[in-house]
């Protein structure tokens, strides 16, 4: 057997081996006809939770590459907005909630080189939200030093001046900000996927848009950098997901003085695991931030597509830097996990979207709800099969609506292109 076949075999076994580690889900083992019917009925009810509508500008003739979108009240007027980026048109856009449930899209810049991620933060501490843009230089695999980090400085009226604070580095996939060393200036955490070579770094803010870099990890495949106090010592730590030669979740615990430790929290022996995103949320509401985690990346294949082990999981924060893996459920092509109480029963449910699925099959799922029974057991329920190719999701609150709405974004790099969208808002139906 060739090493490739062997590694695939191990990969498959490793993927299967994950399932027994989860909480028992007897219904999945052997379903009776009645149970299947109940699942089908639940799918119908989940579908009825949301009504999809075009959000922001309508899709144009070409295929949108929405690479990221995040809900934030950018102009701080009390109404949540959305900022996002388009990897092919090089834009960063703002979809402003002008009045409750009414939205207007504004292009903030079209000069970012293959933006992959945006985030809002008041970097210069003048009271308005600036925008951090992670630029890959090129979305598709490339080992050249074409990545950059740009901060769009807000003048207070949502007019922006770009500052390139990092340039000529391995492709940048995420940048977030926090004061890591306690000097009152917001520093940066940066994920650089690169290709054969990549990095995770933090950048110390020297003031006047000048930053010094410190490399935390030299490995390709970093996708996200998330920031929170993960181990309870009241300093802000960095969590990252690596998906290239290795498939690992790293914690960089902050010592508080500008130095960081390093710990692998979880890793898959499956080199083809396909880690796609992490997002922090206190999923079990015990006061500690947990790590929501999808694996569903299909960008790397000659024939982009899904794998049977794709799905959604969470790393439960047990305190003091210890985490426990729990599988939430299978979901082919899974991306962008988001936690919210979608059914208003008091616990946090999880929604994820699918970027890579068997889109020629009309039964393939593009939006899935994993409903929490209150005991951290999750039941998958189909929200939608179309539109397809969704890699972006977030939750937006519209005044007057108790149930949160969902926002999704489509990245249409591969056919079929028969169920296109750009941005979609999934409004609650009240059912
Ligand atoms: Ca607003
Ligand atoms: Ca500012
Ligand atoms: Ca600082
Ligand atoms: Ca928790």
Model pLDDT for residues 373-414, shown as the tens digit of each residue? 999 999 999 999 999 999 999 999 999 999 999 999 999 998
Distance (Å) from CA 124 to ligand 2 centroid: 5
DSSP sequence for 356-374:
SS-TTSTT--SEEEEEE-S
Per-residue pLDDT, averaged over 239-258, amounts to 94
Q: Are 190 and 201 in contact (CB under 8 A)?
A: yes
Q: 321, 323, 301: which is closest to 313 by C-alpha? A: 323
Per-residue pLDDT, averaged over 416-426, amounts to 95
Position 19 scores a pLDDT of 32
Cα 308 to Cα 290, 296, 301: the distances in Å are: 25, 9, 14
Distance (Å) from CA 239 to ligand 4 centroid: 15
Distance (Å) from CA 104 to ligand 1 centroid: 11
Distance (Å) from CA 75 to ligand 1 centroid: 5
Q: Which ligand is nearest to the CA of 74?
A: 1
Alpha carbon distance 174, 133 (integer Å): 8
Alpha carbon distance 151, 209 (integer Å): 9
For 122-233, list the strands marked E by DSSP. 130-135, 147-154, 160-169, 172-178, 187-192, 199-207, 210-217, 222-228
Distance (Å) from CA 236 to ligand 3 centroid: 11
Q: Which ligand is nearest to the CA of 181?
A: 3
Q: Which ligand is nearest to the CA of 285?
A: 4
Q: Are 130 and 152 in contact (CB under 8 A)?
A: yes
User: Which residues fall within 8 angstroms of residue 249, CB to CB, at 6 or more apart?
Assistant: 239, 240, 241, 242, 264, 265, 266, 267, 278, 291, 293, 315, 323
Alpha carbon distance 191, 169 (integer Å): 11
Alpha carbon distance 313, 295 (integer Å): 8
Model pLDDT for residues 268-295, shown as the tens digit of each residue? 999 899 999 999 999 999 999 999 999 9
Position 422 scores a pLDDT of 97
Distance (Å) from CA 225 to ligand 3 centroid: 17
Report the 10 Å Cβ neighbour count for 40: 10
Distance (Å) from CA 121 to ligand 2 centroid: 7
> Which residue matches tokens 């990545």?
147
* Confidence check: pLDDT of 41 > 80: no
> How high does pLDDT run on average in the chain?
90
Confidence of residue 59 (pLDDT cuts 50, 70, 90): confident
Per-residue pLDDT, averaged over 58-64, amounts to 87
Q: Which ligand is nearest to the CA of 212?
A: 3
Alpha carbon distance 79, 129 (integer Å): 14
Q: Which ligand is nearest to the CA of 152?
A: 2
Q: Which ligand is nearest to the CA of 317?
A: 4
Which of 52-56, 151-155, 266-270, 297-301 shows the lowest mean pLDDT across its residues? 297-301
Position 211 scores a pLDDT of 98
Q: Are 86 and 54 in contact (CB under 8 A)?
A: no
Q: Which ligand is nearest to the CA of 186?
A: 3
Alpha carbon distance 250, 201 (integer Å): 13
Q: Which ligand is nearest to the CA of 214?
A: 3
Distance (Å) from CA 94 to ligand 1 centroid: 10
Confidence of residue 29 (pLDDT cuts 50, 70, 90): very low
Q: Which two tokens stand for residue 220?
A: 């390709």
Helices assigned H by DSSP within 270-425? none
């Amino acid at each position: 057997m060739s090493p490739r076949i062997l590694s695939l075999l191990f990969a498959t076994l490793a993927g299967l081996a994950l399932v027994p580690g989860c909480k028992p889900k007897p219904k999945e083992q052997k379903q009776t006809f009645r149970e299947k019917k109940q699942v089908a009925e639940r799918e119908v009810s989940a579908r009825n939770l949301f009504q999809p509508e075009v959000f922001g500008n309508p899709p144009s003739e070409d295929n949108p590459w929405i690479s990221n979108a995040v809900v934030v009240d950018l102009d701080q007027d009390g109404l949540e907005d959305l900022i996002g980026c388009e990897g092919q048109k090089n834009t960063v856009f703002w979809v402003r909630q002008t009045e409750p449930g009414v939205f207007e899209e504004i292009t903030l810049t079209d000069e970012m080189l293959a933006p992959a991620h945006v985030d809002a933060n008041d970097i210069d501490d003048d009271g308005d939200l600036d925008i951090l843009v992670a630029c890959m230089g090129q979305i598709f695999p490339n080992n050249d030093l074409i990545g950059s980090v740009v901060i769009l400085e807000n003048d207070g009226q949502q007019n922006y001046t770009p500052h390139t604070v990092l340039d000529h580095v391995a492709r940048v996939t995420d940048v977030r900000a926090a004061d890591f060393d306690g000097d009152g200036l917001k520093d940066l955490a940066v994920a650089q996927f690169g290709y054969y070579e990549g990095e995770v770094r933090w950048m110390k803010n020297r003031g006047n848009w000048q930053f010094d870099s410190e490399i935390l990890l030299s490995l390709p495949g970093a996708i996200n950098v998330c920031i929170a106090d993960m181990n309870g010592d009241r300093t802000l730590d960095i969590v990252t997901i690596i998906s290239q030669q290795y498939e690992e979740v790293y914690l960089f615990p902050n010592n508080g003085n500008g130095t960081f430790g390093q710990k692998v929290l979880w890793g898959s022996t499956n080199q083809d695991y396909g880690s796609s995103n992490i997002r922090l949320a206190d999923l079990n509401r015990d006061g500690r931030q947990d790590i929501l985690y999808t694996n569903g990346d299909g960008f790397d294949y000659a024939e982009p597509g899904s794998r049977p082990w794709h799905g959604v999981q969470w790393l439960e924060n047990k305190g003091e830097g210890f985490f426990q893996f729990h599988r939430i459920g299978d979901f082919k092509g899974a991306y962008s996990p988001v936690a919210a109480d979608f059914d208003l029963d008091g616990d946090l449910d999880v929604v994820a979207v699918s970027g890579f699925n068997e889109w020629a099959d009309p039964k393939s799922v593009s939006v899935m709800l994993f409903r929490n029974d209150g005991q951290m057991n999750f039941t998958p329920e189909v929200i939608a099969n179309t539109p397809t190719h969704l890699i972006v999701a977030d939750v937006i609150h519209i005044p007057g609506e108790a149930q949160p709405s969902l926002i999704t974004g489509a990245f249409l790099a591969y056919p079929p292109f028969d169920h296109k969208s750009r941005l979609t808002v999934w409004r609650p139906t009240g059912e």
